Amino acid sequence: MAMNYNAKDEVDGGPPCAPGGTAKTRRPDNTAFKQQRLPAWQPILTAGTVLPIFFIIGLIFIPIGIGIFVTSNNIREIEGNVFMYYGLSNFYQNHRRYVKSRDDSQLNGDSSALLNPSKECEPYRRNEDKPIAPCGAIANSMFNDTLELFLIGNDSYPVPITLKKKGIAWWTDKNVKFRNPPGGDNLEERFKGTTKPVNWLKPVYMLDSDPDNNGFINEDFIVWMRTAALPTFRKLYRLIERKSDLHPTLPAGRYSLNITYNYPVHYFDGRKRMILSTISWMGGKNPFLGIAYIAVGSISFLLGVVLLVINHKYRNSSNTADITI
Amino acid sequence: MSNALPQTNMMLFLFQDNRIHTSKYSILTFLPINLFEQFQRVANAYFLCLLILQLIPEISSLTWFTTIVPLVLVITMTAVKDATDDYFRHKSDNQVNNRQSEVLIDSKLQNEKWMNVKVGDIIKLENNQFVAADLLLLSSSEPHGLCYVETAELDGETNLKVRHALSVTSELGADINRLARFDGIVVCEVPNNKLDKFMGILSWKDSKHSLNNEKIILRGCILRNTSWCFGMVIFAGPDTKLMQNSGKTKFKRTSIDRLMNTLVLWIFGFLICLGIILAIGNSIWESQIGDQFRTFLFWNEGEKSSVFSGFLTFWSYIIILNTVVPISLYVSVEVIRLGHSYFINWDRKMYYSRKATPAEARTTTLSEELGQIEYIFSDKTGTLTQNIMTFRRCSINGRIYGEVPDDLDQKTEITQKKEPVDFSVKSQVDREFQFFDHNLMESIKMGDPKVHEFLRVLALCHTVMSEENSAGELIYQVQSPDEGALVTAARNFGFIFKSRTPETITIEELGTLVTYQLLAFLDFNNTRKRMSVIVRNPEGQIKLYSKGADTILFEKLHPSNEVLLSLTSDHLSEFAGEGLRTLAIAYRDLDDKYFKEWHKMVEDANAATEERDERIAGLYEEIERDLMLLGATAVEDKLQEGVMETVASLSLANIKIWVLTGDKQETAINIGYACNMLTDDMNDVFVIAGNNAVEVREELRKAKENLSGQNRNVSNGHVVCEKKQQLELDSIVEETVTGDYALIINGHSLAHALESDVKNDLLELACMCKTVVCCRVTPLQKAQVVELVKKYRNAVTLAIGDGANDVSMIKSAHIGVGISGQEGLQAVLASDYSFAQFRYLQRLLLVHGRWSYFRMCKFLCYFFYKNFAFTLVHFWFGFFCGFSAQTVYDQWFITLFNIVYTSLPVLAMGIFDQDVSDQNSMDCPQLYEPGQLNLLFNKRKFFICVLHGIYTSIALFFIPYGAFYNVAGEDGQHIADYQSFAVTMATSLVIVVSVQIRRWQKAQKKARPPSSQRPRTRRSSSRRSGYAFAHQEGYGELITSGKNMRTKNPPPTSGLEKTHYNSTSWIENLCKKTTETVSSFSQDKTVKL
C-alpha cells in the first residue's frame, strides 16, 4: 500500500507549486556568465611549450645585449654633436625635504605665487621681507660655476669653442612648465618686489642677456630644477655643434677648461666633473643594459638546456605532465 | 488591564507602543552612527590613523589624498549600501506601522494605524488579516471561541493552528457594548521570545482564569478560516514575541579571515622593523652626511637633531610602506566573496524546480570556507530523508498486515508517478488492491473488532484539521507528516476523518457517519512521547485512545497484554529493521465516574498558577495506564533524492559525515545503512548506550582498545588518512587507523560523554571512526557536538538541517546550511546557505566551495605579492635618498595603484578563474582535499609570496638604477631625473605584476594538471595507493548492491573509475609535502604491491 502523504503539497496547493508561472521567474537565467561557462584559455605547461620559450628568450636577448654593449662602448669618438655635462656626486637632489621645496605655480609665471610663494619653500620663501623668486631649496642651490672650453692651437693661442646654451632643456619644461611672470618688456620690472635666492650672486632676471633665455625660462635653471633621481648625477651643460661634415667637432689637440669656481662641494665630500660625450641611437654611454640583457639571455638559455636534458632523461620513466612540477 | 480602568493609564507608560523600528538610522543620525560603526572596523580605524599621521607636515611623506581617496571610496560604498538597506527597512517599517486595524475606541470600532495600538486595546480581526500585536483571544465567529491562525511568519510552518478563547470571554461574542465594558486584568510573564509558551491569569468578574499559549494570538500570524475575532492587546511593538525573536545573528568569520588577520599583524611587525631600520639609517645619514650638506639642505623647524629626525622618518616610512596592506585588500576580498555567493544563487544545477527554490547564499562572507569543510553534521529528518511518510505496514492484534511482495522498487516508482495521490475514496480503494496486502481489507470486511478499533484510533487520535476545498474534496492539514500518513491510511480503509469541533470529532466508519464527543485531549510533547484522546462514542462509552512511542507505551499496558506485547515488539523490531518509523496503538475503557473525578482534578490543576505543568503531567500519567494494546503502525521515511551518491562522493572527498538525529537508534542506524554510511563490511560498529557516566566511560575505553587492538592485526584494511597538521592542540594523539569503524551513540550516553573528563575519549574515538551516528539527541546536544569538534579538532564544520531543532547546530557550526523543506523555515532563516535538496550539498562544496577556496587563495597570494613588490621599492630607494622617506612613484600612482592600475585583472581572476571544470571537480572529489589541508594559502605560502615580492622589488629598483646611472637620452638631454625614473619604475611595475597574474595561475596548473589528461597517462600504471583503492571498493559495493539504481540517473561508473586513477599520484604528492604520514602511506603501498 502506498499512500504518500506530503503535507507541503497540500497546504501550498495554490500557485507556488504550479510548475509554470512563478517557477520560471525564480529559475536562474541560463547565461554563460551566470552559469560560469565564460570562455577561457588555460595554458598547459609541458616540456614542449616551455623549452622553446626559454631558448627563444635566450636567442633574442643575447644579441640585443651584445648590440647595446658594443654600441655603448663605442661612444667615444668626438664626432657629430658633442654634449658637455657637469656632474656632481654625493649631492642628494632626491632628498624629500629638497624635492618638495619648490613652487611650481611660481615657476609657471603665476603673479600671485610670485609675490606669495608656497609654504613648501620654507625656509627659502622670504628674505628680508621680500618673497624669493625663484623660491625653495632647489633653486637656492643652483649650480653656478661657469665652464669655458678652449682649443690650444699650434701657436699656443687658445681659441674658445662655441658652447650653445639653448636646446639643453626638455621642450615641455621650457615651453609649458616654466614661464616668466606677465608684464611689460622689461624683465626686471616683471620681477619687481621679489628678491634673489640667498645663495645666488645675481637675481633671476640677470641670468642671461638673451631675453628668450632669461628669468625662469633660463635653460640652465630649468635643467637644474629637474631634480636627479640618484645622488650621483650629471646634467647637460652645453652643446657643441658640429660646424661642417668635413671637420670633426672637436679635432684632436690640447684643450683647456676654464672654470669660474662659485659652487662649493668639498665640505660635503662631493665632487664636480665635466664630461664630454657623444650619443648613439640608444642614448649616452651605459654598459649596464647590455650586460643585463646578455645575462638574462644566457641564464634563460642555460635553463633551457638543463630542462631539455632533464626532459630527455626522465621522459620514459614519467609522464610529461609531471616534469613541470 | 483594560482600557476601561482609569488607574491602568498610569501603567501604560511602562508599556511599549506598537510602533516597530527595525531600521537603524534616521536621516539625522545616519552619518554619525554609520561612520562610528564603520570606524569600529580595525582596517578603517587603521587607515584613519594613517590619515591623521599624514596631516602632520613634518611626517607627511605622502600627500593626504593617497589615503583619503581609497578610504572615502570604501566608506562611501559601505555607507551607500547601509543606507539602501536601511531605506528598505524604513519602508517596510512604515508599511507595517501604517497598516490599519479596527480598534474599539469609545465603544465604537474605529480604524486605527498599527503604530497607535496600545496595550489594553481591544482589536477586531477579520479573516486573512495580519495580527497587529500579541493578543489575548476574547471571542470569535466560530463556535466555542475557536479560531485558526497561520504562523508562517513566526516559525515558517504553513499548517493551521487552533487557538480558542476562554469560554467566559467567548460569550462576549461580537457585542460591542459588552466588549467595551470588558475590564479584566491580565497578569502575565514578562516579554520573552518563547513562541510556544505563555503563562498568565485573567482576573475578571471576581474569578481567575488561567491563560496559556492556546489563548494567545501572536503578532505576525494570519487569521484563517475565521470570519472575525476579538482580542485584547497584551504585548505591543518591541515586546511582542515576534520582535523578541528577531535577535542579531552571530557574526561568523572564515579561517582565511583569521589567518589574514594574523598575517596582517605580522606584516605590521615587518613594517615596524623596516621603519626602524630606515629611521636609524636616517639618523646616521643626518649626522654624517646631511650635517655637511646643510647649506643646500636646511633643517626643518623644530627638527634640529638627527635622532628626532630619525623618529619622524620612522612615521613617514610607516605611511609610505603601509601599502603592503592596502585598504583595497579588504574591499576586494568582500567583492570576490559577493561574486561567489551570486554564482551560488545563480546556479541552475542547484535549483529545485519542483518547489521553485533556487539555492541561496544568505551570508556573503563565508564562501571560501565551503572549500575547507572536514566535518558535516547532518540532521536526518527532512535532510537525508524526505519527511514524506508512507504508511507501509501495521501489526494488529499480533498479526502483520502489509507484507509487501518482493517488487518493492517497482512500487515506489508507481507511487512516485501518481503523486499527488488522489484521495477520493473509491479510486483509492481500487488502487490499494493492486499492491497491498488483501488481508487487511478482508479483515475489515469481516468486521474484526480489533481491526476496526485500530483504525478508529488512527482516525480519532490525532491533531489533523480537515477542510473541504472548493471541489468538495477533503483536505487534511497536519502538524506532523507521520500523523498525516496514519489518518490518510485510516481514511483509505474506510475510517474517514471528516471534521472536528473542539468538542466533537466526526468520522465516517465504513459509510456511516459517527460523531464522537471529545472529552479530553492529552497532547503530545517530547517527554511524554505519546498522545491520547478521551472520547464518548454514540453508545455512551468513554474510551481513551492512545498512540505513542513503543518504549513509553509498553510500560503503560495492562498486565494482561503480555503475550500480545512480546508478539508486537517482535513485529516492531522487524519494522525498525526495515527503517520504518513505528508507533504503538492502545486504548482503555473508562467508566463515567472515574473520568468525571479525573476531569475535575484537571480543571483544578489548569487554574493553578504554580507547578501547573507538573500537576497536569501527573494527571495525564495517571489516566494513561492499564492500556490495552491494539497493535503498531509502520511508516516509511523516504530518503531524499541522490542522498547515497552525495554521501559517497563527499566521503571520497575525505569529508566526515556525522548524523545527529532526534530519532531512535534503530531508525538512525537504518538510515545510516540506507545511505551507505554504514556497511556490512565495516570492521566494527561501536554502540555506546550506557546510562551513566561510569558505563559510558567504560564503553568508550573498551571501544578504543578494541580499535587499536584490531588495528595491529588488520594489515590489508583501508587507510583513513587523518589530518596531522593541526595537532598542536590539546593532547589528542591521533593514530592512523586501519579499517572502517562506526560509532553509534545515543542521547543519554552523549550527555555523559560530553562531560569534560570523557570528552577527549569520545572525540578521539569518534574521529577515528568513519561514520558517527548520534541518535535521540536534543537540539542543544547537537550544538554541543558541533562545538566539541570545532574546538578540539580545529576543523571546519558544516551543519545541515531543516527544522527548528537544527537551528542551534546550524548557528554554532562554521557554516550552517538550511534545507528549505517541510518542517518550516526556521533553519533556513538561521542558515548561511540554503537549498531544497541534500544532494546539492555536493555541488555546493565540491564545485562552488572548491572554486571559492582556490580563487581566494590565488587572489591573496597574488595580492600580497603585488603589494610587496610595489612597496618595498621604497625601502631600496631609501638607501639612495638619504633615508628621507621620499617616494619612488608619483603620488597619484600610489593612490590609484591598487584601485585602478591593478584591480581589475586580479578581481577577474578572483571571481571567474576555474582551475578545473565543475564536472571534473564533481567527478573527482579528491580534488577537494587541498582545502581541508589548508595547502593553498598558509603561512608557508605567504612567505613564498613575500619573498617573491621582495625579489621583484629588488629587480624593479636595481635594474632601472643600473640603466639610469649617468644615462642620457638620444638627444643628449639627461633623463636620469627623478620623474623619468619614477615613471619607468611604475610602468615596469604594472607590467610585471600584471604578467605575474598569469604566473600565479600557471603555478597552480603545475601543481595540479587537469585531470582530463591524467587517466590516459596513468591507466597503465599498476601503482595505486591504498587510499584510492579503498574508495573504489566502496563504490563497487554501492554499484553491485544496486542501491543506487533507484535513482533515475545513476552516476557514470566508468567516469568514477577514472577519477580514482587520476587522483592517485596527486594525493600522494600532497601528503608527502604536507603531512608526516609518508611512512604509513608507503608502508601501505608496499603491502598493496
**Of the listed ranges B630-639, B734-743, B834-843, B1044-1053, the one predicted with least confidence:** B1044-1053
Annotation marks residue B379 as catalytic: yes
Contact A322 B968 (CB under 8 A): no
In this predicted model, what pLDDT tens digit does every residue of B481-516 receive, in sequence order? 778 888 888 888 888 888 888 788 888 888 888 999
Question: What is the least distance, in Å, from the CA of A121 to any CA of chain B?
Answer: 11
Q: CA–CA distance from B595 to each of B521, B592, B933 (Å)?
A: 13, 5, 66
Which three three-digit cell numbers place residue B347? 546556479
pLDDT, greater one: B598 or B328: B598
The pLDDT confidence band at residue B91, using thresholds 50, 70 and 90, is: confident
Nearest-CA residue of chain A relative to B288?
A: A268
Nearest-CA residue of chain A relative to B886?
A: A96
The pLDDT confidence band at residue B854, using thresholds 50, 70 and 90, is: very high
How confident is the model at residue B44, as a pLDDT?
A: 79
How confident is the model at residue B1050, as a pLDDT?
A: 35
CA neighbor of B912 nearest in space, from A277, A44, A42: A42
How confident is the model at residue B404, as a pLDDT?
A: 55
State CA B899 to chain mean position distance.
35
How far apart (Å, rounded) are the C-alpha atoms in residues B616 and A181? 102
Question: Which residues are paired to B835 by β-bridges?
Answer: B819
How confident is the model at residue B158, as a pLDDT?
A: 55
Which three three-digit cell numbers place residue B41? 572596523
Reported residue count of chain A is 325
Judged against a pLDDT cut of 60, whether residue A80 lies above it is answered with yes
Contact B346 A91 (CB under 8 A): no
Segments making up each domain of chain A, as ranges: 47-75+281-317, 92-232+249-271
Question: Which residues are paired to B809 by β-bridges?
Answer: none
Summarize the confidence of residues B303-314 as an average pLDDT: 83
Give A-chain residues touching B485 at CB under 8 angstroms.
3, 5
How far apart (Å, rounded) are the C-alpha atoms in residues B875 and B868? 11
Q: Where are the beta strands (DSSP E) in B677-795?
A: 684-688, 719-720, 737-738, 741-746, 771-775
Q: SS3 of B139, please?
A: strand
How confident is the model at residue B821, as a pLDDT?
A: 59
How far apart (Å, rounded) are the C-alpha atoms in residues B644 and B1044? 7
Contact A223 B974 (CB under 8 A): yes
Q: Where are the beta strands (DSSP E) in A114-270?
A: 126-127, 130-131, 146-152, 158-160, 233-240, 254-260
Summarize the confidence of residues A142-159 as an average pLDDT: 84
Contact A10 B419 (CB under 8 A): no
Question: How many percent of chain B have pLDDT more than 70?
Answer: 79
How far apart (Å, rounded) are the C-alpha atoms in residues B910 and B856? 6
**Residues of B at the annotated binding site for Mg(2+)?**
379, 381, 802, 806
Judged against a pLDDT cut of 50, whether residue B1006 lies above it is answered with no
Judged against a pLDDT cut of 60, whether residue A256 lies above it is answered with yes
How far apart (Å, rounded) are the C-alpha atoms in residues B281 and A132? 33
| B850 touches B931 (CB < 8 A) | yes
CB count in 10 Å sphere of residue A263: 17
Summarize the confidence of residues A22-46 as an average pLDDT: 77
Q: CA–CA distance from A258 to each of A145, A160, A261, B478 (Å)?
A: 10, 10, 9, 111
Asked if omega into A251 is within 30° of 0 (cis), the reply is no
The pLDDT confidence band at residue B1044, using thresholds 50, 70 and 90, is: very low
Summarize the confidence of residues B273-277 as an average pLDDT: 94
Give B-chain residues touching A318 at CB under 8 angstroms.
none
Mean pLDDT of chain B: 76
Question: What is the least distance, in Å, from the CA of B354 to any CA of chain A?
Answer: 7
Look-up of cell digits 552516476: B1051
Judged against a pLDDT cut of 70, whether residue A30 lies above it is answered with yes
How much of chain B is in helix, strand and coil states, percent to nearest 5? 50, 20, 30
Of A11, A81, A267, the CB nearest to B292: A267
Any CB–CB contact under 8 A between B521 and chain A? no
How confident is the model at residue A143, as a pLDDT?
A: 92
- All residues at 6 or more sequence positions from A56 whose CB lies less than 8 Å from its CB, including other chains: none
User: Of B149, B292, B297, which to mutate for an interface test with A (greatest number of A Cβ within 10 Å)?
Assistant: B297
**Residues of B at the annotated binding site?**
379-381, 483, 524, 547, 581, 661-663, 776, 782, 802, 805-806
How confident is the model at residue B303, as a pLDDT?
A: 60
Judged against a pLDDT cut of 80, whether residue B184 lies above it is answered with yes
Contact A279 B974 (CB under 8 A): no
Which three three-digit cell numbers place residue A123? 625656509
Nearest-CA residue of chain A relative to B351?
A: A27
User: Of A3, A75, A127, A164, which to mutate for an interface test with B (greatest number of B Cβ within 10 Å)?
Assistant: A3
Contact A11 B1018 (CB under 8 A): no
Judged against a pLDDT cut of 90, whether residue B106 lies above it is answered with no
Contact B974 A6 (CB under 8 A): no
Any CB–CB contact under 8 A between B961 and chain A? yes
Q: How many CA atoms lie within 13 A of B97 on its CB side?
A: 17
**Of the listed ranges B441-455, B624-638, B869-883, B1071-1085, the one predicted with least confidence:** B1071-1085
How many Cβ pairs closer than 8 A exist between chain A and B? 270
How far apart (Å, rounded) are the C-alpha atoms in residues B341 and B346? 9
Q: How does DSSP classify residue B1048?
A: S
How confident is the model at residue A76, as a pLDDT?
A: 58
User: What was the ipTM of the complex prediction?
Assistant: 0.84
Chain A contacts in chain B segment 108-167 (CB below 8 A): 158-159
Radius of gyration of chain B (CA): 36
Summarize the confidence of residues A216-232 as an average pLDDT: 91
CA neighbor of A315 nearest in space, from A47, A108, A30, A39: A47
Summarize the confidence of residues B848-854 as an average pLDDT: 93
Contact B962 A292 (CB under 8 A): yes
Of B343, B411, B476, the CB nearest to A2: B411
Dihedral sign, Cα of residue B832, residue B835, residue B840, residue B843? negative
Judged against a pLDDT cut of 80, whether residue B1002 lies above it is answered with no
Q: How does DSSP classify residue B933?
A: T
Summarize the confidence of residues B1058-1087 as an average pLDDT: 37
| B862 touches B997 (CB < 8 A) | yes
How confident is the model at residue A221, as a pLDDT?
A: 93
Radius of gyration of chain A (CA): 35
How confident is the model at residue B1021, as a pLDDT?
A: 25
Give chain A's count of helices (H) and strands (E).
12, 9
Q: SS3 of B944, please?
A: helix
How confident is the model at residue B846, as a pLDDT?
A: 93
Contact A36 B432 (CB under 8 A): no
Question: What is the least distance, in Å, from the CA of B569 to any CA of chain A?
Answer: 22
In this predicted model, what pLDDT tens digit does every residue of B611-622 receive, in sequence order? 888 888 888 888
